């Protein structure tokens, strides 16, 4: 299994409607046929510690049965739709992929 963790820092100028649209875009990624499971959330309000990083706006977690399915997701048309529609709002994006 591959767990694809994506952290988004978004432009501060986004409206609540923009953020709702972004969340709809994240949910649409769950429907891509090679995605086994998906979820997203916002940074938790846990206490700051030297090892925590909670300045991101959204975290997306997608799971794939294999590296091959992850790779198919990366070139999937619906993934490109998400990137094309929302990348203008990204200040920063970080990806951490883990294989189990």
Share of the chain above pLDDT 90, in %: 99
pLDDT digits (tens, 9 = 90+) for 5-51: 999 999 999 999 999 999 999 999 999 999 999 999 999 999 999 99
Q: How many CB atoms within 10 Å of residue 5?
A: 13
Please report the domains of the chain, with CATH numbers, ordered by start residue.
2-45+53-99 (3.30.70.100)
pTM, 2 dp: 0.94
Count of all residues that appear for the chain in the document: 100
Looking at residue 54, its pLDDT comes to: 92
Helix, strand, coil percentages (3-state) for the chain, rounded to 5, are 35, 30, 35
Q: In 3D, which of 43, 29, 12 has the Cα closest to residue 85? A: 29
Q: Which pLDDT score, from 0 to 100, does residue 47 have? A: 93
Q: What is the mean pLDDT of the chain?
A: 97
Residue pair 62/38 in contact (Cβ under 8 Å)? The answer is: yes
């Amino acid at each position: 299994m591959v767990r694809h963790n994506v952290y988004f820092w978004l432009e501060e100028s986004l409206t609540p409607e923009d953020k709702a649209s972004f969340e709809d875009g994240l949910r649409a990624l769950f429907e891509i046929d090679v995605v086994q499971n998906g979820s997203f959330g916002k940074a938790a309000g846990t206490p700051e510690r030297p090892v925590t990083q909670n300045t991101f706006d959204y975290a997306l977690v997608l799971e794939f049965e294999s590296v091959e399915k992850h790779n198919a997701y990366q070139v999937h048309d619906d993934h490109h739709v998400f990137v094309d529609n929302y990348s203008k709002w990204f200040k920063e994006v970080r990806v951490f992929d883990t294989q189990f």
